Structure 1
């Protein structure tokens, strides 16, 4: 019965006739190509090809045969592998083969005896097997040669000891191989080169057709059609090589003493045939290997999809997802390591809990680790609270593990307080692929969250952890959207959990000024002036130094000491300053505010009391996104910057460049009356924006690589020019490596 290979061959045939061997093919090649194709009628006749091929291999290369160079000798024993082939009980499947094999062998012998051209003999053989598929044609033709070759081998070995074999050898005028052993051996070595090439070619063509029936291919698959177009040529040259070898073997018979005069060119012809077959086969094998990789990729895709379906679906609990994630069958199998208590734990510890996978490589930048270092102690201090019912599992992802990398892994792990994968090198490749492709892990650390039902509910909750800490529980994407919808641009959002004094100041209705920079003279002048102006207006102003965006650690630590020693203001410690600005960046790139900001066009608003024109933020209609960008903009200034909040928790923030703000404070007499009508912060902000329009300013903004299309100046609200800056900050150490304090 015809199968998919027939359909694919028909398509390949059409392609081959149109472009045989490419556009540069010679007329002779095109003619030969068409002649070969004309010999193929159908794929209707089938037989047990694998069993026949195994028998052929026993004839050519018995497993107990001793090899001298390329020439096997000694057929006195039957090896175990050969016994399995010869006594397998498949004889009933070979009933129709002796006739066609004998016919092919007879055709080759008669044509050789009659001096028929080798090409013509090859074509006649092809016509004899026109109703077989191309791999079957090879098995039959090579089998016919094996029949003749096997007889030759038996006579060559047995005629010295077996009288029947000796009698047959005499009738066939078989040469005395003891006398001509050296000459015959060199001739047969050339034959065996071709025999091996023929057998390898037959196996490869057979392997190709088995692949073509694979579930991942169809008759229309371009890969199959392309390779099938090369098969007829491979079959032709293999069958022609059987004719060459058969002619060589038959020429040994009847020559007797004349064996020594066999042409040297015969060996060269056979070597050329072997080379040609090996070249054709190498191209076919290359394609076969590509198909195997294609099949493996498809299987890997299926395994990936199975993992994805489990991890992205809800279940009774999270056990099934955890087993898939860690590739275990037993809940009690200890696949995790408790870094705090230095002991192994089972995945059963995670049952019924929110699980956050801290996914990194081994090059963990300290600022990434800082997020968990800031919020995890709160969980340990009050574990009974609902929002603390979660676990963090460090899940390092590498493609290749070495002893050195494993030592580094253990060094980093032992400094953590949460759980870790015990043997990350044993994590299944499909799980690693899921993390890379479905969670988009490249280099930047991720916090992938799985809920209590085993479903991945957030593929990167880093921003949530950083902005809201444990209040973001259960850390799902829907929770993140809800938190943003409930937020407003106030001091509470800006400095949540940063300093213990802030909640008290807010509760007491005090004005709050967060400021920073790296210019000590500006800091001295600004803090003293701000306090004096505030007192003059009857304002209770609290000030807190929070450094700057992308600050230099050594410089900021010195300034912290100055502010505390000279009692200029309170100051955050360096670790919290780093966390404050990291939190700002995470806010900027958190998807919900960016998405909300992109929903509407830029629409500047104007506020004009007493002819003082105030241009409202022209970033986007989303005030949170606008405020975040302005904070990152003014906060990048080395000279100085500040953000001021009024005496109410709901008051929006006023962000300002340090030098312009100091000028506005020094000229407070010019807006004193406005302050009585609109309040201290509003009047200061209005006058500040007037100065922005009158005085020159230079404001820069440093952000990680981003897709934000347009950012506007925090001072004048004009579009900022986008430039590229390459940065290497030696102060930003990697976690897990020794660093100088």
Structure 2
């Protein structure tokens, strides 16, 4: 049993080898070039029109008038007519189907393989399209009726539905296989000779079976007079022959798709190792093997070609179809298209959304979600992301480490990866991070210090104003409304004493209960205790700090910032109450206080507050925290010999550590 199976396998392989050699002998290319992609789109349009009402048919190819051949002595139309005539003639010859197929291969010997397939298919579709056009119009159009009578077409073809159904299925498969041959021919061949020979063999076999199937289809519709007197068994045999060819072509589809995936995977690995003059080859390999307007501009829903992204930095926003929660999604739009610096650089970069589902197949819900977001967001997106090749999806997952969380892969104007994930950069600096490369990230971190400006920049117009004016700022958080009332009351006294201070509530990190925070925000606003961020902005505030923590860990000489941001994130989890003080545009120390210690400290403002005028508010707090001091002045005095400029010098008390008041003492040293 086993040996018989092997014998059959070897026999089949041997026959395939002989057939491939015979097919190759018909191939004699002379440099003629055909726009096969544009022609197959027109062929597909004709086929789709036969499946629906002619009045509803939509053109499937753009600029079809420009389809032509380079290097040919005759126009495309004449070539197609000659092939169509040859197909019709061979339908009435008594040669076997293989001999007829080889004859047609000889006729198109001077063309490339994909051109052979699409030319023969186009020639067949001219007669097939006319057949259906006459059938559709014969009841309403005198010319169509006359042609139907002349061609002896039966008025009622419902009895032949099984055969026509099989014919339609086979032609559908013919179009698919032809498109795959065109696609595989557009990919660069493998450097591995064995792999290249295997690919070529599949192309030869696919072309042969496309032409052979077309001849069978033509034979089935050529002599329509026989349809009038056909017996049931004959109908079944004819339909079976068509279905049998369809199964063969579906098997070839599977083989070609596997080969395309293999070639594409190799191409993807190599394309990012090569130098390019622009980004077109990279984008085409990833998204546009068939060059059929793969993108769309979401705001206008206009179909876009890869050429639209030429000479631009392209950010590939790779995510699940759900993309991000709506609040973070709005933040992302704010940090890119609504960012103050976006207008300065908008012509230099674009974001391309590449949605990838968790499973291998797209669900109906995921498609609906994608359609909703792709109509609402300001960037480009893949027009039909479910058509992405599995090799591309696997490459994205493996090479760019895409799992569940969104990533932003940055391609420079030459298509090279300059940052495998710029997401944190965008959250922190927005459009200011252009061109979003790792070197730009390093450049942005070099001048940074741990300051309130770094913490709050870009969060809110309210805080941005504080940055510009260099105000004293206090950001605070708590989930205890009584503590908030007590704390803000003390801050009000300090402001009433003449201190310029902006107070902003930013909640707590990892808030345990969103309702509690929302209630607190409502009370703060109603009682006018202080200003506050919105609930959504509070989320972004803490999220951005986490992005800073991640980003800073990859940089050099930023240990201090890394330590400070980690400490602050821990500090902000105190639900009882905390506050941070600093000057917004200053790189001075950021002062952190929490809980009861904070309240007690400001109870002594009457003691240390007198230093605000000289040291500034933050300086006075810092000075007071360096030591514990009595609640009353210590009345300590020091005599300091006079020196030039001494009157402007600040002297600190050696006991209570507060600035000392200046007095002038005159002493007579004249001897009697």
Distance 2:17 2:388 in 1: 41
Contact 1:526 1:662 in 2 (8 A): yes
Give the aligned partner of residue 663 of structure 1: 600
What residue is the counterpart of 2:462 in the other structure? 501
Could you report, residue by residue, the CA deviation over 1:668-721 in whole angstroms, capped at 9, with x for unpaired residues?
A: 456558878865425535766889xxxxxxxxxxxxxxxxxxxxxxxxxxxxxx
Provide Cα deviations, 1:276-304, integer angstroms capped at 9, x if missing partner: xxxxxxxxxxxxxxxx99xx999967743
Alignment correspondent of 2:654: none
Contact 1:312 1:456 survives alignment (8 Å): no
From 461, 466, 477, the equivalent of 2:438 is 477
Q: 2:354 aligns with which of 378, 385, 395?
A: 395
Give the whole-Å Cα distance in 2 for the aligned partners of 1:49 and 1:453.
Answer: 45
- What is residue 308 of structure 2 aligned with on the other side? 349
2:318 maps to 359
Query: CA offsets per residue over residues 359-393 of structure 1, 9 Å max, x none?
Result: 111343415424323223426x8765126632112
Kept in 2, the 8 Å contact 1:546–1:572? The answer is yes
Asked whether the equivalents of residues 375 and 469 of structure 1 are also in contact (C-alpha less than 8 Å), the reply is: yes
In the TM superposition, what is the alpha-carbon distance from 1:511 to its structure 2 partner? 0.7
Shift in Å at residue 404 of structure 1?
Answer: 3.5
Runs of 5+ unmatched residues, structure 1:
1-46, 55-78, 85-212, 217-291, 600-620, 692-741
Secondary structure (helix, strand or coil) at the match of 1:364 reads coil
For residue 321 of structure 1, report the CA deviation from its aligned partner. Answer: 1.4
Cα distance per residue 1:246-303 (max 9 Å; x no partner): xxxxxxxxxxxxxxxxxxxxxxxxxxxxxxxxxxxxxxxxxxxxxx99xx99996774
Matches of 1:384 and 1:625, distance apart in 2:
32
Q: 1:514 aligns with which of 472, 475, 478?
A: 475
Which range is displaced more, 680-689 or 387-396?
680-689
Once the two structures are superposed, residues 453-481 of structure 1 have per-residue CA deviations (whole angstroms, 9 ceiling, x without a partner) of 21121111111110001100111111011
CA contact (8 A) 1:661 1:688 kept: no
Any idea what the Cα deviations from partners look like across 1:41-72, whole Å, max 9, x if unmatched?
xxxxxx99936999xxxxxxxxxxxxxxxxxx
RMSD: 4.0
Distance (whole Å) between structure 1 residues aligned to residue 627 and residue 265 of structure 2: 59
Question: Which residue of the other structure, out of 370, 377, 391, is the alignment partner of 1:416?
Answer: 377
- The 5-angstrom pairing of residues 369-408 of structure 1 reads 369-378=329-338, 384-386=343-345, 389-398=348-357, 399-408=360-369
Larger Rg: 1
Unaligned runs of 5+ in 2: 1-10, 19-94, 101-191, 196-253, 629-672
Is 1:635 aligned with 2:599?
no
Question: Partners in 1 of 2:427 and 2:395 — Cα distance?
Answer: 25
Deviations 1:375-416, CA, capped at 9 Å, x for gaps: 23426x876512663211211112212333322321332332
Answer whether contact 2:451 2:586 (CA < 8 A) is retained. Answer: yes
2:394 aligned residue (424, 433, 437): 433
Cα deviation, 1:216-257, whole Å, max 9, x if unaligned, reads: 9xxxxxxxxxxxxxxxxxxxxxxxxxxxxxxxxxxxxxxxxx
TM-score by length of 1: 0.47
- Residue 355 to residue 82, structure 1, CA distance change in 2 (3 Å): closer
Specify whether residues 53 and 547 from structure 1 end up closer, same or farther in structure 2 by C-alpha distance, changes over 3 A only: closer
Structure 2 CA distance for partners of 1:630 and 1:312, relative to 1, 3 Å: farther
Report the Cα distance in structure 2 between the residues aligned to 1:308 and 1:528, rounded to whole angstroms: 63
How much does 1:487 deviate? 1.3
Residue 253 of structure 1: aligned partner: none
Task: Specify the alignment match of 1:50 in structure 2.
Answer: 14
2:640 corresponding residue in structure 1: none
Matches within 5 A, 1:257-296: none
The answer to whether the 8 A contact 2:341-2:431 is kept is no
Q: Which of 585, 588, 597 is 2:546 aligned to?
A: 585
The separation in 2 between residues aligned to 1:634 and 1:363, in whole angstroms, is 33
Deviation at 1:350, TM superposition (A): 1.5
Q: Is the 8 A contact 1:449 1:475 kept in 2?
A: yes
What residue number does 1:654 align with?
Answer: 591
SS in 1 for 2:331: helix
Q: Which residue of 2 aligns with 1:566?
A: 527
Per-residue CA deviations over 1:152-210 (Å, capped at 9, x if unaligned) read xxxxxxxxxxxxxxxxxxxxxxxxxxxxxxxxxxxxxxxxxxxxxxxxxxxxxxxxxxx
Conserved? CA contact 1:545–1:572, under 8 Å = yes
Partner SS, residue 589 of structure 1:
helix
Matched-pair contact (CA < 8 Å) for 1:506–1:649 = no
How does the TM-score come out when normalised to structure 2?
A: 0.52
Q: 2: distance between equivalents of 1:583 and 1:475?
A: 17
Q: Say which SS state the counterpart of residue 553 (structure 2) adopts.
A: helix
Distance 1:472 1:567 in 2: 37
1:358 aligned counterpart, secondary structure: strand
Is the contact made by 1:664 and 1:684 (CA closer than 8 Å) also made in structure 2? no
For the Cα contact (< 8 Å) 2:316–2:410, is it kept in 1? yes
Instruction: Tell me the residue number matched to 1:644.
Output: 581
Give yes or no for contact 1:447–1:460 (8 Å, CA) kept in 2. Answer: yes
- 1:309 equivalenced with 2:270 (yes/no): yes
Q: 1:624 to 1:305 in 2, by over 3 A?
A: farther
